[in-house]
Amino acid sequence: MSSKEIMDRISQAGEKGLRKAELKKEFQNSPVEDEIGSLIGNGDIVMDKKGTAYYLWRADEYMKYLLTTDIKFRLLYSKIEEMKTQLEDRFKYGGYFRDTDGSKSVYNYDSDSFESWNNSVNYPTRIEPISNFDNDNFRKEFDSVLKKCSGSSGWVLLSRIREEMERKFNIRQEDFYSLVKEITDREYDTYELSSGGTEGITIRGLLHGFVRCI
């Protein structure tokens, strides 16, 4: 059993995805979990929950799956593509751009057009990250949000903690989960992770999106 064999089998499933349990059944007595974890880590495949089971997709097929099943994702994707086309019309092909009513407005294109336009845009003000946001500072803030959000069971979605910290410190998603992995690996007798959720840390091919203090 190789990564290529697993990729080929997942590719056959297309945008419907391949049930993880079915893949493990087909490749019995093989380290499927390790191979899946490696492929997810490399960005070659995606794992998500559909109903009560976990499914696997090739990255491009997962995009197609979301476009046909998730209306919010489809609307967002459509809007991004529309904006991309407008910018290409204006700066790549030159000659005109479309106003909000769909009409064309002619302008004189020159090599500094994009830079001039870019400098004229009022981008939203972003909160600056706190200084020296190292592991110790991160852990203090992480523990504070975890304590605030935990209920009677103690379990909290990692995505909820990330959203709270992102609003305050403008920390990127990949940086957040990288630091979470560091502290949970180091303090394994303090934190407990559980599978589930829509985002989190992949351990042995399984997404872990819940955390609690032991």
| Residues 6 or more apart in contact with residue 31 via CB below 8 angstroms | 1
Same domain, 19 and 35: yes
Question: Which residue's entry shows tokens 């493990």?
Answer: 24
Same domain, 94 and 108: yes
**Has residue 194 got a pLDDT over 70?**
yes
Across 81-105, average pLDDT: 60
Domain that holds residue 163: 135-213
Q: What is the pLDDT of residue 142?
A: 92
Asked whether residue 127 is domain-assigned, the answer is no
Asked whether residue 202 is domain-assigned, the answer is yes
Cα 184 to chain centroid distance, Å, stands at 20
| Mean pLDDT for all residues in the chain | 78
CB count within 10 Å of CB 119 equals 8
pLDDT tens, position by position, 174-190: 889 989 998 988 888 89
Torsion sign over Cα 173, 186, 189, 193: positive
**Has residue 161 got a pLDDT over 90?**
yes
What is the total count of domains within the chain? 3
